[in-house]
Amino acid sequence: MLVRGGWFLLLLIIGVSGFDMSRLYLRSEDGSALVFSVKDSTLVEFRGIGPRFDGIHQLNDARRFLAVIKMANGGLADSAAFTRLRNGPVKSGECFVFQLVEGNIVAVESVWMSAAKRMVLGIPLMVDSMNREDWSDLPGVGASLALRIEAGRQKNGEFGQFSDLSRVKGIGRKSLQRWEHFFNKQK
């Protein structure tokens, strides 16, 4: 039988070990901070709808995107701008920026989440869709290297593949190894 206070100590030990064990399940070998258990889920960001819906959302079935948006704001599903935009599938890492007029969505633009957000969420980066700010979010990339990467792409065209980054002065094998887990290996 445990002495008075012993129960408290036992519960404290169990609680601390449970917390420590939970940290193991929230880590991922690919560098992402969160692991989502839903297979084929899509992570998207909404901006401009309002505090209730702005932020990052996990869609378990991206084909039902219109239904999700309709719940958020019924006027959007009928918007011609939205219909033109959403002819293709929704992709993880997309950010939808909405323009509201008197509570109705009149326009929506699809852009990419920042590289920093995509890296934290474990969403692969695409070498040809990054801007200077995105490049600066990578470890070891400062303002001057980010500028050289952008200038190299403008001068010589799209990189096409992650390994083509090596054509930029200042990017060698070690840099590519350090970044490879952040990038989509497909074109």
Long-range contacts of residues 28-36, Cβ cutoff 8 Å, at least 24 apart: 28/122, 30/122, 30/181, 31/119, 31/122, 31/181, 31/182, 32/119, 32/120, 32/121, 32/122, 33/120, 33/121, 33/122, 34/120, 34/121, 34/122, 35/122
CATH of the domain at 175: 1.10.150.310
- pLDDT of the residue at 80: 54
- pLDDT of the residue at 101: 82
The lowest-confidence range among 53-57, 168-172, 174-178 is 53-57
112, 139, 163 - which closes a domain = 112
- Asked if 170 and 131 sit in the same domain, the reply is yes
> What average pLDDT does the segment 59-71 reach?
61
- pLDDT of the residue at 25: 41
Is 28 within the bounds of a domain? no
Residue 34 has pLDDT above 50, yes or no: no
Higher pLDDT, 62 or 38: 62
Percent of the chain with pLDDT over 70: 61
Average pLDDT over the chain, rounded to an integer: 74
How many angstroms separate the Cα of 30 from the Cα of each of 91, 119, 122, 173? 19, 10, 7, 19
Statement: the pTM of the whole predicted model exceeds 0.75: no
Residue 74 has pLDDT above 70, yes or no: no
- Asked if 47 and 103 sit in the same domain, the reply is yes
Distance (Å, whole) CA 124 – CA 183: 5
Q: How many domains does the chain have?
A: 2
Residue 186 has pLDDT above 90, yes or no: no
Domain that holds residue 81: 42-112
- pLDDT of the residue at 151: 92
Confidence of residue 28 (pLDDT cuts 50, 70, 90): very low
Backbone phi, psi, residue 43, to 5°: -105, 120
Is 76 within the bounds of a domain? yes
